Structure 1
Amino acid sequence: MADDDAPDLEVPVGLFQDLEDLKAQVTALTAQVRTLTSAAETDPGEASPGDEEDADGTTADEQDEGEWRFPPFILLLDPPVYDDELRALIEWVEGVLVPGYLAEPSADARWCHLWFEHPVAVARLHACWLAWQELTDPATCGYTGPSVWHRDHLDPCLRELRGPNGPFAGCTKSEHRVDHRLPGLVPSAWAMGES
């Protein structure tokens, strides 16, 4: 077949992004399968790394039984763990997000310098940060992770936070208001422990 007889095939750009996303997912799943199968291949009588005993006689598996294995959602944490997680989140927001992604605040794109006093902002930014931690590691997500993070996490997060109905809607450069978005009545499902 001659070159001029070859059909002209145009591949949409989005297809390449989808393929890269699929490659990243396959890579992550392959790594997970390897981890799980290597753990399953150890003999039942053989000690696994998590079975080593501490000085008090407890194993790492027994210690981890009631604990989170992955970073938990910040609003579910109690002090002092909450304080430590918030401190780390503040470092990331102030060190990465603010200088790299936030232009000068305006009426259409608000930002509150006391964002950490807005629970909705803390929740959204923490979720965005957890996704950033996962999606910027090429070993687990391939090279498209940062693109996925921008598209699926950062852009929607900033739209919600900086929009006209976001948590910073009542804040200006000269005034900070946390209570402008708080509901007057707490839904009963949130106050189950209270009488």
Structure 2
Amino acid sequence: MSDDPNFDVPVGLFEDVADLKAKVTQLTALLEQLTEHADHAGETADEDGTAAGEETAADAADEWQYPPFILLLDSPEYDDELRALTEWVEGVLVPGYLAEPSADARWCHLWFDHPVAVARLHACWLAWQELTDPASCGYTGPSVWHRDHLDPCMRELRASSGPFQGCTKGENQINHRLPGLVPSAWRRTGEAP
């Protein structure tokens, strides 16, 4: 078919195939985990007579924990998650990906004071954890992470209208603008801001 002059390969086809391979690898790993869990569940029964395969909703919720949205966490879980996120941002993201801030590419050294930045960076970090593991996503994971997660996240955060728009770095000073607090449905009644 390569001798056929009418045979053209679309430019994005190779990226699409790589993405599909990564998804198949990820789904295969998940299927293996679920199969192992089902095999183990069929071998045992609870003391109260309930078959292990007949888990209660509470048991299933305890077993399959996915990372929560960081802004919905309360202390001390929020503090622990923010601490881990800070290690990644300051240890991987800042030295590896962020050049000197400019008017066109802002960065605030107090990014953790900006809830929008915390939320976006946390989502980017969760994706990084998943997509840098060849066992779950193959070898194309890092490329997918850069294209689908890091680049859009940095465009939003570092844009002139992004969360760091009021934070500036002068020659002898750094001005940090804290975001204003907006009433939120997430905040509980009586909770201090």
Q: Work out whether the TM-score is over 0.5.
A: yes
**CA distance in structure 2 between the partners assigned to 1:65 and 1:33 by the alignment:** 19
> What residue is the counterpart of 1:26 in the other structure?
24
Q: Deviations over 1:8-30 (max 9, x none)?
A: 33323310110011011111112
- What is the deviation of 1:41? 3.1
The answer to whether the aligner puts 1:99 opposite 2:95 as a matched pair is yes
The answer to whether the aligner puts 1:157 opposite 2:164 as a matched pair is no
The answer to whether the aligner puts 1:77 opposite 2:46 as a matched pair is no
Residue identity over aligned pairs, in percent, reads 69
Partner SS, residue 103 of structure 1: coil
**CA distance in structure 1 between the partners assigned to 2:188 and 2:78 by the alignment:** 22
> What residue is the counterpart of 2:44 in the other structure?
47
**CA distance in structure 2 between the partners assigned to 1:40 and 1:68 by the alignment:** 13
Q: 1:99 to 1:67 in 2, by over 3 A?
A: same
**CA distance in structure 2 between the partners assigned to 1:114 and 1:163 by the alignment:** 16
Aligned residue among 165, 181, 187 for 1:169: 165
Contact 2:72 2:186 in 1 (8 A): no
Contact 2:22 2:139 in 1 (8 A): yes
In structure 1, stretches of 5+ residues that fail to align are: 52-60
Aligned residue among 102, 114, 120 for 1:118: 114
Q: CA RMSD in A?
A: 2.8
Give the letter for the 2:177 counterpart: R
**CA distance in structure 1 between the partners assigned to 2:130 and 2:188 by the alignment:** 34
Q: 1:111 to 1:127 in 2, by over 3 A?
A: same
> What residue is the counterpart of 2:178 in the other structure?
178
Contact 2:117 2:157 in 1 (8 A): yes
> What residue is the counterpart of 1:58 in the other structure?
none
Q: 1:64 to 1:79 in 2, by over 3 A?
A: farther
Give the letter for the 2:123 counterpart: A
Give the letter for the 2:176 counterpart: H
Partner SS, residue 37 of structure 1: helix
Partner SS, residue 130 of structure 1: helix
Q: 1:139 to 1:89 in 2, by over 3 A?
A: same
- Residues matched between the structures, number: 176
Contact 2:108 2:176 in 1 (8 A): yes
The answer to whether the aligner puts 1:88 opposite 2:84 as a matched pair is yes
In structure 2, stretches of 5+ residues that fail to align are: 47-56
Q: Deviations over 1:111-139 (max 9, x none)?
A: 00111111111111001000000011111
The answer to whether the aligner puts 1:148 opposite 2:161 as a matched pair is no
Partner SS, residue 136 of structure 2: helix
Q: Deviations over 1:22-51 (max 9, x none)?
A: 01111111222222223223464x239xx8
Q: Deviations over 1:78-123 (max 9, x none)?
A: 1111111111111111111111111110111110011111111111
TM-score (norm: length of structure 2): 0.80
